[in-house]
Amino acid sequence: MMPLRPSKSALRTFHLQRHIAGRRPFSSSFVASAASPHRSSLQKRGQSTAAASAKATESRAVPSPAFNQEPHRNEISPLQHRQLPELDDSMVGMSGGEIFHEMMLRQGVKHVFGYPGGAILPVFDAIYNSKHFEFLLPKHEQGAGHMAEGYARASGKPGVVLVTSGPGATNVITPMQDAMSDGTPMVVFCGQVPTSAIGTDSFQEADVIGISRACTKWNVMVKSVGELPRRIQEAFEIATSGRPGPVLVDLPKDVTAGILRNPIPMHSTIPSLPSAAAMAAREMSQKQLEGTINRVANLVNIAKKPILYVGQGLLARPDGPEILKEFAEKACIPVTTTLQGLGGFDELDPKALHMLGMHGSAYANMAMQESDLIIAVGARFDDRVTLSIPKFAPQAKLAAAEGRGGIVHFEIMPKNINKVVQANEAVEGDCADNLRLLLPHVKSVSERPEWFEQINDWKQRFPLSLYDRQVEDGPIKPQAVIEKLSDLTAHMKEKTIITTGVGQHQMWAAQHFRWRHPRTMITSGGLGTMGYGLPAALGAKVARPDCLVVDIDGDASFNMTLTELSTAAQFNIGVKVLLINNEEQGMVTQWQNLFYEDRYSHTHQQNPDFVPLAKAMRIAADRCFKPSELEEKLKWLIEQDGPALLEVITDRKVPVLPMVPSGRGLHEFLVYDEGTGAQAADARPKRGLPRPERISDTSP
């Protein structure tokens, strides 16, 4: 006989009853059903008469509340609707391209640099004949990126780039890395294939988000038209906050072509108000900052040979140079700057030590080595500044061990603190704000006679004017060109902006031009990008059209982006190009001469005839051969109304000195020696590769 099995419905009923019984409330009035027909139901147990009467007359005691807890109230709050973010319906009905145009308007963008292409056409169609900003079309996307950098460096506002997908986006990678290295705010918008085609290797598709991750502060792909306004707003916030830098926004074509149908929240995902934890951390940080400021002030007050080492971080704030000047004067401290910090301190001030580092002034380098307290402000101890770390700042390290000095680092980026050189005191945050906080705690010092006497002795022994001097019938010395330009612009330094390429001419400009105002030196420092000078000059002139903007360039560097001369002509951007032509890659040949026994491997190139080339691009151009005509030709260049080029044929194999060889200490520098220098000059034509024919004097 087969055993009886309960039906599915009976099992379902059984489990339901068990479930109900398992979650019954604690109540004396509940009677549970029997789980089996063979068992009787549980009955309520009766209470005694005494217990019943006691329950009727007494209430259960309420436990004492905790000392920090309010008594519990059995009050039910009415249901409240969650507060929704405010919606913006002003863009409903706009395409993604039109939203881009509207957001540029809201961000106050006046100029955009870029190059069109298929994937970004919806945006270009939307900005067609826009009256709200000017679009500048370069000859290459790299030029657009460097123009945006020059614009940002001259104005302090983020430069905006608009390019297409694939090669359009990848061509901006070098400018983005350059901006990342130098802390330049830049917002790059690039087209992308439609979202449905991403990952299919479609035409001009590139993983720009992956490619640009390491060379941007932040990047994002916009996946819907409703997301576009918020992402654009975030891009500008991130590019300009903290240490400025580049950001990238990837725009698929279906997003920029799509239509916004519904109102959207306009708030940024970046928290506008700090959280409780952030506020607590900030309060604790503020208390720590006060203690740090007091300790730093004590070090400044007891130091005998302090020095201020200033970088670009202080120039980010308009009032930064003024605070620096006030601090240096109150405490009577000499000031040296990095390449990117030039102009942050007036070099005509007796306390100025000019630029330091590999090709810095010998007296700045010696002062760094002899100082007992180095106050680094907005600088990151770059390898071109410190050279050999074990040999760097020996007296400051000794003073730190004795509790009377050391290295103090004012820096906004925590990752830069103790990254290269160990700081004895780190002051994290905005450099200008923290330097201002330090000012009241520092004692006034009228003079430091011993310290400045030693510095002045170094200045007399190793002046920057110590080089193979110009002779009337000899070739033009490149240093003399820069000195003459500096003299001719002495009355208008505040309105003169210099950009450079990368190479020997860059260092000569830093050494022999007198820098007096911030944002007047624009160059590629961290990355060292050849070809930077001309497009950066175009961007700077667009940002500050009232200024004289001169690109001091070398022939090898200029060759890389010279096509942007036609951009200057097309938009009548009045930049001046001072082309120092020594017919070689000068900085590399200098290293080959010093360290590779004159093996000039592929460092001499055949240049075009620059003057006719510039004229073919509708640029006024001239050439200078003789020292006697240098001043007249430079005046011609400065006085030109529109874009102009002056090619100066200079002496070859001229080293940039002083120079600290790699692996040496800052005090182990090479300087020009008049005796050996004359012998070297006589031997130059006999060394290396045969000297190519010079361009004949065919200028009109």
Q: In whole angstroms, give the CA distance from residue 235 to residue 214.
A: 16
Residue with tokens 């309010």: 70
Pick the catalytic residue: 203, 290, 494, 605?
203
List residues bridging with 620 in a β-sheet. Answer: 644
113, containing H or E segment: strand 111-114
Whether 570 sits among the annotated catalytic residues: the reply is no
Of the candidates 603, 596, 569, 612, the residue with the CA atom closest to the CA atom of residue 699: 612
Amino acid letter for position 103? M
SS3 label, residue 43: coil
Q: Is 71 left (phi over 0), alpha (psi -120 to 50) or beta?
A: beta
**Residue pair 170/206 in contact by the 8 Å Cβ criterion:** yes
From 17, 204, 395, 570, the catalytic residue: 204
DSSP E strand stretches across 269-392? 306-310, 335-337, 352-355, 373-377
Task: Give the pairing type, strands 264-265 and 87-88.
Answer: antiparallel
Whose CA is closest to 534, among 544, 524, 525, 526? 524
8 Å CB contact between 385 and 357:
yes
97 touches 144 (CB < 8 A): no
Burial code (b: 16+ CB inside 10 Å, e: under 16) for 14-38 equals eeeeeeeeeeeeeeeeeeeeeeeee
Cα separation, 316 vs 182, whole angstroms = 11
* H or E element, residue 500: strand 496-500
CB atoms under 10 Å from CB of 135, counted, come to 17
Helix (H) or strand (E) holding 254: helix 253-257
Query: Residue 333 burial by CB count (10 A; 0-12/13-18/19+): exposed, middle or buried?
Result: buried
Active-site residue (options: 94, 560, 587, 617): 587
Rounded CA separation 432/493 (Å)? 24
- Per the annotation, the verdict on 587 as an active-site residue is yes
Q: Considering Cα of 83, then 86, then 92, then 97, what sign does the dihedral take?
A: negative
Pick from 335, 348, 360: which is nearest to 455 by CA?
335
**DSSP annotation string for 515-538:** P-STT-EE---SS--TT-HHHHHH
Instruction: Report whether 396 contacts 309 (CB < 8 A).
Output: no
The one catalytic residue among 253, 484, 576, 653: 253
**Could you tell me the two tokens for 562?**
């010279």
SS3 sequence, 614-655?
A: HHHCCCEEEEECCHHHHHHHHHHHHHCCCCEEEEEEECCCCC
- Of the candidates 98, 102, 141, 425, the residue annotated as catalytic is 141
- For 156-191, give one letter per residue: b (16+ CB within 10 A) or e: bbbbbbbbbbbebbbbbbbbbbbbbbbbbbbbbbbb
256 Cβ neighbours under 8 A, 6+ residues apart: 95, 96, 97, 100, 120, 122, 123, 191, 225, 228
Whether 411 is a known active-site residue: answer no
- Enumerate the active-site residues: 141, 203-204, 253, 587
